[in-house]
Amino acid sequence: MQIEISGLTKYFGGLAAVSQLDMYVNEGEIVGLIGPNGAGKTTIFNLITGVFPPTKGRVIFDGTDITGRKPHVIAELGIGRTFQLNPLFGDFTVLQNVSASFYLHPRSSLLDIYFNTATYRRNEAYILEQSLEILRLVGLDKVRYELAKNLPHGYQKMLGMARALAIRPKLLLLDEPLAGMNPDEIDFTMTAIKKTKQQGITLVLVEHNMQIMDLCDRVVVINFGQKIAEGSAEDIRKNKDVIRAYFGGEHAA
């Protein structure tokens, strides 16, 4: 298991946003994390990445207990993520947005930068090469010189994913990667996600669009902060508890 979550619980006041969650993700998998609005999906991402400390429970990543660690420490260990609202640099080009995200690897000292040393020039050449490679992977290389604020919505979402890939993650958490997209953008994004998996990166996807299940090796369903089902996409589509959570009745689907 690349990541193992046990008994994860988060209270906000008297509200249990996540309650006694047990979940695992194997290396190289795509796991879907789905559920109705307000089920606690994004909170789980925030607990994994250190945005919120859990009330109870543990998160183990590659054998290391990362429970409650700071976000930058967790990023250094190899967990990247995207957000529902993309924190892009609107007046930077697509290429500059990705290049600016290489803050972990490699690093140049202030003296290297000031004196334009060979180490600094070598690092900058590496960052440019890797940024272009990431843009090719996610299909944005043809718009590398466009300003981020001028991109269509779907491309902006993919740029957020490209920026997350710049930290060279072992595990990538994608928060609603298909939200607000038209059918062409959905196809474009799903293709990019498949290519990312082929690079050996493990993915966990939070999504409302049920098309995402077609990409997943397994699907975990939560409702009111608790896991109510887990299995293949086919099993989840037939699960009565899942149908009841989404539609309010067994036959509503």
For the segment 139-182, what is each residue's pLDDT rounded down to a tens digit? Answer: 999 999 999 999 999 999 999 999 999 999 999 999 999 999 99
* Confidence class for position 129, pLDDT limits 50, 70, 90: very high
pLDDT computed for residue 150 by the predictor: 97
According to DSSP, the residues that pair with 147 across neighbouring strands are 93
Domain 3-88+152-247 adopts which CATH fold? Rossmann fold (3.40.50)
Region of 198 on the Ramachandran plot (φ > 0 left; ψ -120 to 50 alpha; else beta): alpha
What is the reported pLDDT for 249? 59
Average pLDDT over residues 201-221: 93
Q: Distance (Å, rounded) from C-alpha 65 to C-alpha 59?
A: 6
Structure tokens at 72: 């930058």
pTM: 0.93
Share the mean pLDDT of the chain. 94
Backbone angles phi, psi at 96, to 5 degrees: -65, -35
Q: Is the pLDDT of residue 250 over 60?
A: no
Among residues of the chain, what percentage have pLDDT more than 90? 87
Question: Domain-by-domain residue ranges, the chain?
Answer: 3-88+152-247
